[in-house]
Amino acid sequence: MAESPVPSPVLPPRSARAHACALSAARDLLAEGGLPAATVDAISARSGVSKATLYKHWPSRTALAAEAFGREMADAIPLPDTGDPRADLEEQVRRVSAFYAGPTGEVFAQLLAACVTDPLAAPFFREFFLDGRRAAISVLWQRLVDAGLASPSVTAETATDLLFGPLIFRRLTGHAPLTISEADAIASAALEGLLRRE
């Protein structure tokens, strides 16, 4: 027992395979037809993973879809890094806005909506998607703080909500477009403040 010839068996390989297959199938289905297409039966059929197994890995269909979506989106919106912290943040708002405006944004909205109804899925959506996005913004925000440009009294949390909450709200209700100029207006207003400066 000198060395461990088979160190990998730590993780039941079979389980991992089923898990990965399911996520992959879900990802494809989400891309093809959004959340409505990511039916449990469809995922099961396409992945070869049985329904029963799916429900052993995830508490609900939405949770599975949320993880699949989150994992795929992990690197979907790379952070800009031009050396100008403020410009980077503004650019990120533009990118996220464009992301929400596109077909993937539709899936995001469906998932966000589904989590309202499905409390079991919400943690998955947070863990695999939202937390990642939030962490990315925190990086940008910290750069601003470090550069002495941002009020250190404002948390990254609040900054994130202020910058992206409006975009999401618009995406959900469709009451206003998600164009670049609108994104800029929001970013600008958030950064400069709504009140007039003397």
**Interacting residue ranges for a copy of itself, rule: CB under 8 A:** 36, 86, 109-110, 112-117, 122, 125-126, 130, 134, 144, 148-151, 154-155, 157-159, 161-170, 172-176, 185-186, 189-197
Nearer to a copy of itself, 4 or 82 (CB): 82
Interaction partner, residue 110 (DNA, a copy of itself, none; CB < 5-8 Å by kind): a copy of itself
SS3 22: helix
SS3 32: helix
Nearest-5° Cα angle at 55, 52 to 59: 165
CA atoms within 13 A on the CB side of 121: 21
| By the rule CB under 7 A, 46 interacts with DNA | no
Interaction partner, residue 170 (a copy of itself, DNA, none; CB < 5-8 Å by kind): a copy of itself
Least Å distance, CB 130 to DNA, is 20
> Please, what's the b/e burial string for 39-53 (b: 16 or more CB within 10 A of its CB; e: otherwise)?
bbebbbebbebeeeb
CA atoms within 13 A on the CB side of 104: 17
| By the rule CB under 7 A, 53 interacts with DNA | yes
Least Å distance, CB 4 to DNA, is 11
